[in-house]
């Protein structure tokens, strides 16, 4: 008989989490909530659990549930650029990434043969997901491997939005259901097939195609100290130069696959660009009056593909805190020189700074779009 544990009525939710882990280790199927729908999971180290999961839905797509976006690299030998961007920006969240089995690395071999077969779809892809649902994450933290989950739709295309939906569809075939109330979205995650140079939506879901396109864009982040002089000028000038090179408007860059941002090492939130920066940009037909400063953050840096700093000091500050980002953080200057801070200076200092930035950006644009 299926056991249903209502988390909000539990004296200690940790007991339910431990019980779920024990059930999974023993080869039982456990239903767990995600932010999209409820899924039924098995322990990939248990051949009995995998057999039960496959018997439950023989022809469905199954997914490896990961603890975080960083775990994907453990399973992929050469992560495609779009998969990397989707994982960094879309996870944790309602997004499933499907990759061809040929790029899956040796760590995948630690799973049982039955588990490997069960997560390989008919199109020879393996699907991965990192959910934002806290209860599911708590269970995953105590499991030695990712869990294998069945498809997010069940018989006749019904979507299990609640624990009751799972119970009514599968009955005693599921050993334990952790009931954490209705799921936030109540619709399946979006499944995106990704290869070395392309992506496409395999199964539509919560995340729209427009959002996927933006998540897959190439992000350039310009960094200075206060995000009121150099980096806002670099952001605006880069937009102008890149749009001109691509023969499009500034506002169309995101649809052409480029996103341009700026931030400051010691920036406050919401400060305007300096008057001198606004004036020097206005002389060249670029509007900076609507700029609002922001500080660098782990999220910004994690999402950016290219972090371009004004000085060696800025780069070092970032790498001191996030050393793993070394491959993505570099100086804007092509000759590895600092771009002087015009703050406190007059029109001449700002004009010289603008020229220095623009010359280096021109070379950057040539590298991006030959």
Q: Nearest CA to 94 among 132, 126, 121?
A: 132
Listing from the earlier edge strand, what are the strands of the sheet with 30-33?
3-6, 176-179, 30-33, 38-42, 147-149, 63-65, 125-129, 95-100, 190-194, 199-203
Q: Please report the DSSP string for 323-359 in residue order.
A: GGGGGGEEESSTTS-PPPP-TT--HHHHHHHHHHHHH
CA distance 7 to 139: 13
88, 230, 240, 315: which one is catalytic?
Answer: 230
Residue 146 per-residue DSSP state: P
Q: Can 239 be counted among the known catalytic residues? A: no
CA atoms within 13 A on the CB side of 14: 1
224, 229, 315, 356: which one is catalytic?
Answer: 224
CA distance 280 to 190: 45
Q: Can 224 be counted among the known catalytic residues? A: yes
Q: Can 200 be counted among the known catalytic residues? A: no
CA distance 207 to 188: 9
Residues 220/309, Cβ–Cβ less than 8 Å: no
3, 4, 26, 214 from 23: Cα distances, Å: 11, 13, 5, 40
Q: Nearest CA to 230 among 347, 354, 313, 351?
A: 354
Listing from the earlier edge strand, what are the strands of the sheet with 218-224?
258-264, 218-224, 306-309, 329-331
CA distance 43 to 345: 64
Q: Please report the DSSP string for 250-271 in residue order.
A: GGGTGGGTEEEEEEETT--SSP
41-65 in b/e form (b: 16+ CB < 10 A) is bbbbbbeebbebbbebbeeebbbbb
Catalytic residues: 224, 230, 341
């Amino acid at each position: 008989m299926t056991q249903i544990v209502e988390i909000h009525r539990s004296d200690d939710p940790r007991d339910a989490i431990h019980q779920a882990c024990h059930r999974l280790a023993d080869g039982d199927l456990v239903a767990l909530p995600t932010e999209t729908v409820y899924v039924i999971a098995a322990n990939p180290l248990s051949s009995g659990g995998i057999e039960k999961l496959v018997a439950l839905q023989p022809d469905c797509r199954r997914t490896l549930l990961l603890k975080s976006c960083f775990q994907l690299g453990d399973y992929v030998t050469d992560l495609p650029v779009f998969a990397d961007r989707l994982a960094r920006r879309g996870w944790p969240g309602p997004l499933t990434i499907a990759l061809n089995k040929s790029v899956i690395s040796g760590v995948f071999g630690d799973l049982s043969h039955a588990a490997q077969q069960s997560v390989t779809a008919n199109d020879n892809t393996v699907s991965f997901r990192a959910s934002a649902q806290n209860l599911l994450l708590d269970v995953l933290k105590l499991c030695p491997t990712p869990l294998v989950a069945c498809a997010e739709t069940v018989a006749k295309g019904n979507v299990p939005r609640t624990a009751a939906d799972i119970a009514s569809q599968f009955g005693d075939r599921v050993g334990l259901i952790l009931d954490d109330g209705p799921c936030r979205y109540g619709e399946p995650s979006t499944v995106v097939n990704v290869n070395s140079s392309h992506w496409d939506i395999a199964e539509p879901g919560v995340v729209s195609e427009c959002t996927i396109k933006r998540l897959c864009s190439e992000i350039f982040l310009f960094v200075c100290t206060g995000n009121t002089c150099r980096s806002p000028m670099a952001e605006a000038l880069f937009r102008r130069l890149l749009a001109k090179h691509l023969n499009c408007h500034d506002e169309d860059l995101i649809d052409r696959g480029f996103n341009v941002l700026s931030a400051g090492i010691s920036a406050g939130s919401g400060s305007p660009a300096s008057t001198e920066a606004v004036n020097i940009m206005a002389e060249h037909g670029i509007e900076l009056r609507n700029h609002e400063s922001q500080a660098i953050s782990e999220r910004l840096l994690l999402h950016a593909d290219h972090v371009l700093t004004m000085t060696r000091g800025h780069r070092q500050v970032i790498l001191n805190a996030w050393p793993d980002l070394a491959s993505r953080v570099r100086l804007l200057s092509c000759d590895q020189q600092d771009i002087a801070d015009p703050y406190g200076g007059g029109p001449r200092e700002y004009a010289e700074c603008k020229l220095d930035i623009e010359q280096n950006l021109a070379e950057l644009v040539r590298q991006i779009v030959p």
